[in-house]
């Protein structure tokens, strides 16, 4: 079966040249599926591997807009509608200068399996632009979002493709995008976007969901060893939505997060992160981590290295792809780290993952551990369809149950295919088989 997997991977590289992140994501999934294909050869015989690595639709478009100085700017927009076997395409929009076709493909491919694991009938997709909202005025962001949605609106809908936020796309951007969609369609399709404001169809817990879910998954992993997060020191990277609410949930469960970061460096706060101050700096003031340090006695800013240099029990990479490499992994292991749960998408390099698995520590891939965000997006879609709203406790209870189910699915799949405790195999096998079985049922489409 290894020859079959390698052949498919070579085809992916040949067809998608220069798209290193996409190649990495595909290889990670395909390599772990070898025991699945060996046990169920019909997946290979039916061309499932070749079909699942090829997007159903790839959309790329020009996004012209005018800045506050009257200068015309042009960005590039993307939407990769990767797989709709289980339901409408579902996945975020990322606005960041690093965005290109390969980045969006890798994110969309990961989204297929992540969404399948939630059990909520949603397919995989992703989108975004190389537009950078950082430093732009609200008016500039609005004009960009309106231009972006003018084209994107042709391709999305509550039963077709439901985008959400990602890096660079928060409540402000979702609001502008939805307003333009509503104007163009003359229809209040609340379910066309998720991550909306509470006053116009948003869901409680959606803001917190990805960070909360990552920590809940880590807690479930520790429970398999008769342990918990109580009293554990935690390193978190990032200072955005995922990182902030991972810190919040970790504190609620008795852990002590002591780091966070942004592009200017990372903060070490040995007394434990002051969550309210962090929220004020990042969510209200849109400031930098240095602003936190200037107002927090005892905290220090480190401008070289990464949060993984700090001795901790648990690491939660919540920033971006490939932020934790083999050297960082070696440092974490040397310092006694026993749990790594990914809050970002593919934040650990293949070499780092290999080191964690060789050491036998608890390691969770993002498609499992950070699925809480898209799970709660699907809960938002459910509320929109019923024109109802749940209270915070109800929504959080549903998220907690979904994360427990995802954890259990990963554990069971890993055991089924002969690798108990291997969450990478477990997540990929559980997600793949759900999608593959439905693709077979739908025929060659």
What residues form the annotated binding site for substrate? Answer: 90, 111, 114, 165, 377
Q: Maximum distance among all alpha carbons in the chain?
A: 63
Q: What is the dihedral of CA 196, 201, 205, 209, to 10 degrees?
A: -50
- Cβ atoms < 10 Å from Cβ of 71: 8
First and final C-alpha spacing in the chain: 24
- How far apart CA 260 and CA 85 sit, in angstroms, is 38
- Cα gap 90→377, rounded to integer Å: 9
Say if strands 265-268 and 161-165 run parallel, antiparallel, or are unpaired. unpaired
The structure tokens listed for 206 are 């959606």
**Mind giving me the DSSP string for 138-188?**
HHHHHHHHHHHHHHHTTT-BTTTEEEEE-TT--HHHHHHHHHHHHHHHTS-
Beta bridge partners of 58: 80
197 token code pair: 């404001």
| 189's tokens | 């399709």
* CA–CA–CA angle 337, 228, 110 (5° rounding): 65
Q: How far apart (Å, rounded) are the C-alpha atoms in residues 114 and 230?
A: 28
Q: Which residues are annotated as a binding site for NAD(+)?
A: 210, 241
Task: List the structure tokens of 23.
Answer: 């190649």
- Residue numbering of the annotated binding site: 90, 111, 114, 165, 210, 241, 377
Q: How far apart are CA 252 and CA 245, in angstroms?
A: 10
Is there a catalytic annotation at residue 225?
A: no
Encoded tokens for 386:
């019923």
Which of 7, 39, 105, 126 is catalytic? The answer is: 126
Question: CA 111, CA 238: separation in Å to the nearest integer?
Answer: 21
Catalytically active residues are 126
């Amino acid at each position: 079966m290894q020859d079959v997997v390698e052949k498919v991977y070579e085809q992916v590289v040949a067809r998608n040249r220069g798209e290193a992140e996409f190649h990495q994501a595909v290889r990670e999934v395909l390599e772990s599926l070898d025991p699945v294909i060996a046990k169920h050869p019909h997946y290979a015989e039916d061309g499932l591997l070749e079909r699942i690595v090829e997007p159903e639709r790839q959309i790329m478009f020009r996004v012209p807009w005018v800045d506050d100085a009257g200068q015309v700017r042009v960005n590039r927009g993307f939407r990769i509608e990767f797989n709709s076997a289980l339901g409408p395409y579902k996945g975020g929009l990322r606005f960041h200068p690093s965005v290109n076709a390969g980045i969006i493909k890798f994110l969309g491919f990961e989204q297929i399996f992540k969404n399948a694991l939630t059990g909520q009938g949603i397919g995989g997709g992703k989108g975004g632009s190389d537009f950078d909202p950082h430093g732009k005025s609200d008016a500039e962001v609005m004009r960009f979002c309106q231009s972006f949605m003018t084209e994107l609106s042709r391709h999305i809908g509550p039963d077709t493709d439901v985008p959400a936020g990602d890096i660079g796309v928060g409540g402000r951007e979702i609001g502008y995008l939805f307003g333009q969609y509503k104007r163009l369609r003359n229809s209040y399709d609340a379910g066309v976007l998720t991550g909306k404001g509470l006053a116009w169809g948003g869901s409680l817990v959606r803001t917190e969901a990805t960070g909360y879910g990552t920590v809940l998954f880590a807690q479930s992993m520790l429970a398999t060893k008769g342990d918990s997060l109580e009293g554990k020191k935690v390193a978190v990277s990032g200072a955005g939505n995922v990182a902030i609410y991972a810190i919040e949930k970790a504190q609620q469960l008795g852990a002590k997060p002591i780091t966070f970061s942004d592009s200017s460096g990372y903060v070490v706060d040995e007394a434990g992160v002051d969550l309210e101050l962090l929220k004020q700096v990042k969510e209200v003031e849109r400031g930098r981590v240095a602003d936190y340090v200037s107002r927090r006695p005892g905290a220090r800013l480190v401008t070289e290295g990464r949060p993984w240099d700090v001795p901790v029990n648990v690491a939660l990479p919540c920033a971006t792809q490939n932020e934790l490499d083999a050297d960082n992994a070696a440092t974490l292991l040397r310092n006694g780290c026993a749990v790594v749960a990914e809050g970002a998408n593919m934040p650990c390099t293949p070499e780092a993952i290999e080191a964690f698995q060789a050491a036998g520590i608890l390691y969770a891939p993002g498609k499992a551990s950070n699925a809480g965000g898209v799970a709660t997006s699907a809960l938002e879609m459910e509320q929109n369809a019923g024109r109802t709203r749940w209270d915070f406790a109800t929504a959080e209870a549903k998220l907690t149950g979904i994360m427990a189910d995802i954890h259990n699915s990963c554990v069971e799949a890993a055991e089924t295919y002969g690798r108990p405790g291997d969450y990478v195999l477990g997540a990929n096998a559980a997600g793949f088989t759900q999608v593959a079985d439905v693709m077979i049922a739908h025929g060659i489409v």
